[in-house]
Amino acid sequence: MNKVYIVVVLACFTLSLSAQNLSKGIFSSQIKTLTAIEETLVARQNRSFSEKLDSITLSYGSKIIFYYNETLEVTRTSTVMPGVSGPLVLNRDYTFDQFGNVTCLIESGDSENRKSLYYYSDDGIYIVSKMVYKIKDGDWVLDEKVEYFQSEDESYGYAVKSEIDENGDWRNDEKVEYYFEDSKVMTEYKSNWDDGYNEWKTALKCEHTYDVDGNHISSTDFYKIGNEVDGYDWIPDEQKVYEYDDNGNCVMARELEYDSDLGIWELTSTTTLFYNLSQEWENIAGFGIYEMDQPFNMQNKLLNMSISTEDMTFEATFHYSAATSVRELQGRNLVVWPNPCGQTLHIQSEEIESVRIYSVDGRLLKTLDDGDKPVNVGDLARGCYMLKVSFEGGEAAVCKFLKR
């Protein structure tokens, strides 16, 4: 789990433009928070299929709709917002690799269209780079890239964003460095490239704290002032504070701004989250670039959230429905869930005689004579496998499943 953590935290840096596209015409900070939740729910839904997220209804007539393929992977989200001359729509279309990582994200709608291509290590665990394209004269043209690094001891990592300048050359733009302890990011440094000095200039710092259970309880932003002669100081700027219930769900998140004249923190917004505590939500760490940096933990199913500021309140309601991956094969209903799976794969059908699991190159890996029992796949490596279910009478059905 610690090996994929950097993928999660770096995603906050690389996907920020997606949230900015959504913010047009609504409220920037509220939409950014909601986008992080949307991404997290999409990623989780790709791994646990007892239910699926259908839509999120928002204040002021907005809505996010989720679309799935036959194996219940989210292939599109559509954000619909009211506009002066009619609804504004932002579509986000996703393509996956065999590990379930997003390899292509296309954002299209009333704002600027973008295409992002993601590249990973051979085992699918680490993200290596991201290429971003924009449409110019009707064609996709490369516009920016993000390159990632993590040290072997997993104590340090960074993401560097570069842009193509007017001469067609790559130019450094932004850099975020991460320092870890026990697989948790403790400090971030954000720098901008200085063309005059031909070096990175660090301008912002973010410090994180955690409770004894590992829950993220605060993040504090600082900005840098001073000079090389007199020295530099870090001045508090913004802070986020999180509260959790006994189940480990974040139930409240507060955003504060620091008043340097008075030397106090002032509350700017409060986010309250409500859950169905009787329904657990499998809490698996992020995979690939698809899961954004979730600032808080969710153990149970999220039902509603409310974001309040001094001037207004923003509401979001999450709608779900039952979901199983059902395939009609050889005249039989074969139900396999969850797909993708973690430790256990469930198979449901009538008159099952045996179950066999093969690698994609045809090697037999597991045999189970009692098809009514859950199949333990915890010892299988991440990847794609073939499932062969044999029925009484000699019939057989074959389908694929993905192991996380």
What's the pLDDT tens digit per position in 75-93? 888 889 888 888 889 998 9
**pLDDT attached to residue 22:** 27
Domain boundaries, the chain: 2-322, 325-403
Between CA 298 and CA 244 the distance in angstroms is 9
User: Per CATH, is 325-403 categorized as 2.60.40.3080?
Assistant: yes
3 state DSSP class of 8: helix
Annotation: CATH topology of 2-322: Lipocalin (2.40.128)
The answer to whether residues 104 and 96 touch, using CB atoms and an 8 Å cutoff, is: no
Q: Per-residue confidence at 130, pLDDT binned at 50, 70, 90?
A: very high
**pLDDT attached to residue 26:** 32
For range 243-268, the mean pLDDT:
94
For the beta carbon of residue 311, count every other beta carbon within 10 angstroms. 7
Q: How far is CA 391 from the centre of its chain?
A: 39
| CA neighbor of 163 nearest in space, from 134, 204, 205, 128 | 134
Tell which wins on pLDDT, 324 or 302.
Answer: 302
3 state DSSP class of 402: strand
**pLDDT attached to residue 257:** 97
Q: Per-residue confidence at 404, pLDDT binned at 50, 70, 90?
A: confident
**pLDDT attached to residue 336:** 78
For range 351-367, the mean pLDDT:
82
The answer to whether residues 187 and 176 touch, using CB atoms and an 8 Å cutoff, is: no
Between CA 157 and CA 2 the distance in angstroms is 13
**pLDDT attached to residue 281:** 61
The burial of 340, by beta-carbon neighbours within 10 Å (0-12 exposed, 13-18 middle, 19 or more buried), is given as buried
**pLDDT attached to residue 222:** 97
Report the chain's mean pLDDT, rounded to a whole number: 77
